[in-house]
Structure formats: structure tokens, C-alpha cells
Amino acid sequence: MKSIQVDKSWDGRRLTRFLQKAMPSASAGQIRRFLRLGRVKVDGRRGNEETVLREHALVEMYVEDEFFAQAEKADPFYSKIRPKLTILYEDEQVMLLDKRAGLICHPDEGEKVHTLLTYAQAYLYQKGEWNPGTDFAPALCNRIDRFTAGIVILAKTQEALREMDAKIRTHEVQKYYLCIVHGRMKHQDGTLRHWLLKKPEQKKVTVLRRSEPGSKEAVTYYQAIDEANGLTLCECLLGTGRTHQIRAQFAAIGHPLLGDNQYGQAKQNEQYGRMNGQALCAYRLIFDFEDTPACLSGLDGLTVQVRDVPFVRAYFPDVVIPAP
């Protein structure tokens, strides 16, 4: 058994985070088990995953001494990586990361190190917040294409991943994008509604005017912000979250995104200079929860926005993106 008095630095923080620090050799699953069995008490009362600590509280842990020993580094892979992250928000449960265009979200057969997820896991490992030997690995709650920039949500815990997935499915996370399209939009604002069909052997989605077997409805709300040099800067709000949704839908109405050689034409893009992918950025998230789980309490009502959108600065230098 070991007892520790809570100091000021832990006032208002969760018991589970405290236990992870106090018992570095215990996995997240083992800590949950200790709590479930009543082997952790706070001021003489049984602690649980919702317990919030206060300064001077006494935490008693009735567990084997081996769990208090500092665990050896489980994987030197993460200690050698230099995490290249732009962190827009962080608490004990989640992180909001600004992904640059060109960086892939997840490791694949061709790249294991230089990915957003690997950088984030290395960052948490080097901070001592995550050990690769535990039963949960920090995970991305959403993803964006390699050559699309913008905000990606990372869950530090299983609970946060589960709850955030549910909020995204019920559209309680509003996702706004900025994009530049070729040509002048006929209407200053409107709704794009199509059905997208993705076949396993194809890298592109097929845009349909009506539903067909295997297709999924795609809805995008847009507003034209400015026009210049045969280009239009638009803000988009996703009504659905389909693969290549914005890129495919704008191309289908004759306005492919600047820099998008997959759904547009390279010759059309070349006249505007070289770009690192398409002019598309997931630049703003609004968290508007109907009910707020404890693990996401820091996000409810929050608006988070990227600090800079390079293609807007390059092609529409007079446009000022308002702060959230």
C-alpha cells in the first residue's frame, strides 16, 4: 500500500491521471480494475474514474509495490522521433492538431514515422502520458486527405475516442472548410447535394445526381467569400462527411479546386503556379454538444480555428479570416 497527499498542481484534475503518474508500471486497464475493485481511496472514500482531486486530499492505493516502479521504455522507436506538431488545443482527454498539407494522417506501408498519428503518439510518449505497452493507443477521431490541411482530433483515452466518435456521427461537431475553386460561382451561396460512389479499385469517387446501389449521399453548404483572377474563395460547412466530398462535388458542377489534379486538370492549375496539393483546409471546428460527457467537458461550446491558411494568404491577400 502507498499513500500520497495531493499537492496544488493536481487540484481539479482527475484521479485517473494522478494514478497513471503514481503507478507508471500499471496499464490503463489495470488502473480501471483497481478502481473497480475499490483498491484506491480518496480521503477514505472509494475512488472511481469520475473522481476529481482537491489539494491536500489523501490518495491511498492498495496495490502491489511493483506498480509504483518506473517502467522501462517499452519502445525506443517513439523516443527517437522529433514530433512536428502544431497543437491548437490540449487537455487530459483530447488534442486538436493543425495538420499541414502533404502529411499523411496514419502510417501506411510506405511511411511509418512521418505521419500525424506517429508524431502525436511520440509527443505523448515523451511527455510520459502514454506507454506503448498499455492497452489503448492514442487515436485519431477524424482524418483528412494527405494534401488537405487542417484540424484533426486526437483522443488520448478510449472513453474520449468513443464519445467523440458518437458526437461526430450525430453532427454535434461542425466542420468548416476554406477552399479555392476555379471560375466564378453562379450563386453566392447554396447547397451541393449529390450521391458519391466509391469502388474499391478506384482512387476517385463517382459523383451521381441520384441514389444508386452502394452510393452515399453527400451534402455541402457553401458561401463565396471573394473572387479574383478567375478564382473564387469559398467557405464550406459539411452536412455529411464523405471521402473527397468537397473536391468531387465542386468538380462535378464545373468548379474544381485549385491545385487538385485528381478531380481537376493539371493544365488548368499550372497557370497559377506550383502548389502542394489542393487549396482545401479544414480550418474551423465548432463543438456544440446536446449533452456533454465528462471526458469532453473542455470542448463543449468551443470554437477552434487554424492560425494561418497559406493558400488564402497567397491568392487572396486582402481577405482577413475573422478569429473565432
Domain boundaries, the chain: 2-68, 76-169, 173-315
76-169 and 173-315 have identical folds: yes
Superfamily of domain 76-169: Pseudouridine synthase (3.30.2350.10)
pLDDT band at 72 (very low <50, low <70, confident <90, very high): low
Q: pLDDT digit string (tens) for 170-189?
A: 999 999 999 999 999 999 99
d(Cα 118, Cα 78) in Å, to the nearest integer? 8
Give the CATH class of 2-68: alpha beta
* Structure confidence by residue, pLDDT tens digits, 116-127: 999 999 999 988
274 falls in which pLDDT band (50, 70, 90)?
confident
Q: Report the CATH superfamily, name and number, of domain 173-315.
A: Pseudouridine synthase (3.30.2350.10)
Residues 113 and 30: their CA atoms lie apart, in Å, by 29
**Model confidence band, residue 70 (pLDDT cutoffs 50, 70, 90):** low
| pLDDT for the residue 267 | 93
